[in-house]
Amino acid sequence: QYQRQPDVRRNRAVQEIYEPGSTFKIVTASAALEEHAFTTDEVIDVSAGTIRIGSRRVNDTHRYGPLSFTDVLVKSSNVGAIKIGERVGAERLGQYVARFGFGRRACGDLPGETPGMLSDSSSWSASTLASVSMGYEIGVTPVQMVAAVSAVANGGELLQPRLVRAIRNGAKRSEVERAAPRRAINARTASELLGIMEQVTERGTATAAAVPGYTVAGKTGTASKVVNGAYSKKDYHASFVGFVPSRQPALTILVVIDSPRKGQIYGGAVAAPAFSRVAAQALRYLRIPPTLNPAPPVYVASADDGAGGVSASIQRIAAPIDDGLDVRTGPPVVPDLRGLGAREAALRLARLGLTARLSGDGIVIQQDPEPGTPINQRTSCRLWLDRALPSPPSPGSPER
């Protein structure tokens, strides 16, 4: 009987609609930077702590002096976000809301997914523009918000979330075809926004989202819930959305707390700490090496037989060399990791300054880049694991 209750069977990731609040300021800021309406250091006067739109008044939680564009997001000023939205304008902001995937189904793999709620920007009043700029009067699903923030992590490209990454039949692994990415913003805008979102977790509203050893980028949100047709003064959605490691993203995580109690209501106080705990355990499980203060690499001189001696060039190899790792001269290359366990393979990559991206469990059966590929500017290596190495092809069978 308990399992028959609709609310229990509800897939909240794709069916639950909520007003995102300040996490949505990421979209407002993206539109402003992409359209060159603001620069990151332009000063916005929010010193009054309040702004009037018609007969309506919107307040900041604190009174600030003049804030830079960056600090409007870092401190999450509603007044500043509204002023940014007003300069961008309803038509352009509406375009970027759509670019980030809001107003349509994000995934498609799960039944019952809702497109959320979004009105046509051509009908927005000044009050609606102000509300959307700070994440109100728009209904989003958690998966839409994760996809939108992941676009920033992906250099501006919006990817379609998929429930299944690959289908495995014995040793055969077939990747699920993914939709071609669509560009929400250009790479430069994404880079600027990434820097701002890192500051949110370093000195802004989400210091509690920090994960020891890793850089984190994200944004807090606290939005009043609609109860009986009016915004409540005691019921809120408190949230934090972010990705980690911020410069080599592996995870995007959204935490939404429905109606937090016990005195704290803000996303930075109740959702950000949950993000930190979930991210720390997930990174440890995925064996993603730390990005802050990693173990220092060992540098050795490389031999140059053509010159009859040792060259003056210095090559980065590994640190420390105590597990049988081959020491080679010349440019560093990706090692052959096939047949190794996940832990050992990830450790060897980490010692070369590379991040392991793991799929499956067991031992490494395939890797990308291939063994012997020069490392150069590469930052990660994709590893597929299985319980046993694949059988060699029978004579005459086609190569894969």
pLDDT in tens, 177-233: 878 889 999 999 999 999 999 999 999 999 999 999 999 999 999 999 999 889 998
Q: What is the pTM of this model?
A: 0.72
**pLDDT for the residue numbered 190:** 94
Catalytic-residue membership of 22: yes
Per residue in 28-87, pLDDT (tens digit) is: 999 999 999 999 999 999 999 999 998 999 999 999 999 999 999 999 999 999 999 999
Share of residues in the chain with pLDDT > 70 (%) = 85
Residue of 117, 147, 148 lying closest to 25 (CA atoms): 148
DSSP letter string over 347-395?
HHHHHTT-EEEEESSSEEEEEESPTT-B-TT--EEEEEEESSPPPPPPT
Helix or strand holding residue 179 (H, E) = none
**pLDDT for the residue numbered 3:** 56
At position 9, the amino acid (one-letter code) is R
| End-to-end Cα distance, the chain | 50
Whether 186 contacts 99, CB under 8 Å = no
Q: Which residues contact 172 (CB under 8 A, 6 or more apart)?
A: none
- Which pairing describes strands 355-359 and 380-386: parallel, antiparallel, or unpaired? parallel
Name the band, by pLDDT with cuts 50, 70 and 90, for residue 304. very low
Whether 51 contacts 57, CB under 8 Å = yes
Catalytic residue, from 22, 77, 246, 276: name it: 22
Per residue in 127-160, pLDDT (tens digit) is: 999 999 999 999 999 999 999 999 999 999 999 9
Cα 337 to Cα 348: distance, rounded to the nearest angstrom: 9
Helix or strand holding residue 138 (H, E) = none
Q: Three-state DSSP class for 127?
A: helix
Cα 316 to Cα 332: distance, rounded to the nearest angstrom: 7
Name the band, by pLDDT with cuts 50, 70 and 90, for residue 162. confident
